[in-house]
Amino acid sequence: MKRNLSMLVDFYELTMANGLLDCPYKDTIVYFDMFFRNVPENGGFAIMAGLDQLIEYINNINFTDEDIEYIRSFKIFDEKFIKFLSDFKFTCDVWAIPEGTPIFPHEPIVTVRGPAVQALLIETVLLLTINHQSLIATKANRIVRAAQGRTVMEFGARRSHGYDSAVYGSRAAYIGGCDSTSNLEAARRFNIPPAGTMAHSWIQMFDDEYSAFKAYAEKYPNSCLLLVDTYNTLKSGIPNAIKVFNEVIVPKGYRPLGIRIDSGDITYLTKKARKMLDQAGFPDCMIIVSNSLDEYLIRDMLVQGARVDGFGVGERLITASAEPVFGGVYKLSAIEDKSGRIIPKIKISDNISKLTIPGFKKTWRLFDRDSGKAIADLITLHDEVVDESKPYELFDPIHTWKRKTVDSFIARKLQRKIFDKGVQVYTSPSCEDIRKYCLQQIDTLWEEVLRFENPHNYYVDLSQPLWDLRHELINEHKF
């Protein structure tokens, strides 16, 4: 769906762009990197998502007459800048890590090269798009892994932070591994399987629970899943469900799909429910649970022996409530002079985590040739080549005495070119294909990296030339 989000910019992007047109740097080619500093919830990795919406945004940047008049009304912008916006055409190169890829702090996940004014103007949408969907995809994947192969349905639309958050959050959750969504708009737009049955209000509208179940079963005999906790799960809900299964579903030649429990001590209730359903002759009847679930509750329920076939997860997924910020930033890393020479730039801070990595770079993932498992990520200068035929020494960029020589490895470049001089050269896969790719790539990570608490530190290392460059610039800026 085409949308013009050209005005979704922070005001300072316009003031800087306007100022650049009056200074010697107006035609300067710049390099910007988007990266993030910390994995949400102190996890071992994050999931890249949102690239397709970034592509859509870039392809549709166009300042309308109404936009131009609004900008002009501030009376601080030069007319030549107003004309620049009226005639705006995106001509930058863009590289990005594909959606569904596990990503790690400090490595460039999006790189933009092009005229400074253009690179500045896309910052806001680039960040909000990748930040939001990467956050939700990461949370979804944690929940899916906690479910240990059981189905996970995304139920979060009504608790999301607005319309777009609901729709694109559903997309990101599917990429992260969820099996379906209750959000029909997201299901239609991204070809995600829809899921959902009834609410408590359906049951409350009838004279009694049995009548409500019977009416629903008669309408949907081949997909009957009943919500059994409106009044009393064990004394009323499940007995009435079994009665309706026997009186309506079985005589029509079908089997009940399942029951859903949305309150109470779910672990205890599912154990009792499973016994009651099995004794009634419905061992194939699924038990689905919901109610403010997250990966920790799901994990604990399963450890305690809960008999669950699927989870409906809503608010804590769609809002990533435990840590609702994905701290992606967009920083200048280099400029290019008129001769084509790349001049690295660095941001120095007393906070070491905010120290940037200068230059035009490439990120590689090194895989063990025998096991297929990821060994480490390596950031190099753009013109470096990693020779797979020779041993390669990796070292921690902070604790440089920590070194490891690897051989028998495969080195793969992570970023793909998305735009070439403003022309899209990359075709996004379908959501289903991204989801499959995501699950495959997670399987390349060691189990220790997948832990929820205190995961193994997956290394993102710098090549020796890049490390040397970084420290040369640090020394140049000493006071």
Question: What residue segments make up the domains of the chain, in order of their start?
Answer: 11-136+323-476, 139-318
Q: What is the pTM of this model?
A: 0.96
Rounded to whole angstroms, the Cα distance separating 385 from 153 reads 43
| Cα gap 403→396, rounded to integer Å | 7
Residue whose tokens read 């990693």: 386
**C-alpha–C-alpha distance, residues 373 and 105, integer Å:** 19
**Rounded to 5 degrees, what angle do the CA atoms 454, 460, 463 make?**
155
Distance CA 331, CA 28 (A): 16
Residue type, 228: V
- Nearest CA to 270 out of 285, 248, 252 is that of 285
Distance of CA 265 to the CA centre of its chain: 31
> Superfamily assignment of 139-318 in CATH?
Aldolase class I (3.20.20.70)
Q: CA 255 to CA 118: how far, in whole Å? A: 59
Q: What pLDDT does 390 receive?
A: 95
Question: What is the distance between the alpha carbons of residues 327 and 362, in angstroms, rounded to a whole number?
Answer: 21
CATH superfamily of 11-136+323-476: nicotinate phosphoribosyltransferase (3.20.140.10)
| Contact assessment for residue 142 and residue 40, using Cβ atoms and an 8 Å cutoff | no
Cα 291 from chain centre: 23
Mean pLDDT by 10 residues, the chain (479 residues): 86 94 84 97 97 97 96 94 95 98 98 96 97 98 98 95 96 98 97 94 97 98 97 98 98 97 97 98 97 96 97 96 94 94 92 89 97 97 95 93 94 98 97 98 97 95 97 86
The answer for residues whose C-beta is within 8 angstroms of residue 209's C-beta and 6 or more apart is 203, 230, 231, 236, 237, 240
Q: Six-digit token pair at 106?
A: 């400090």
- Residue 2 amino acid letter: K
The span from the CA of 345 to the CA of 66, in Å, is 37
Closest CA to 317 of 111, 136, 113, 62: 136
Q: Cβ neighbours of residue 400 under 8 Å, at least 6 residues apart?
A: 467
Residues 428, 433, 435: CA angle, nearest 5 degrees: 110
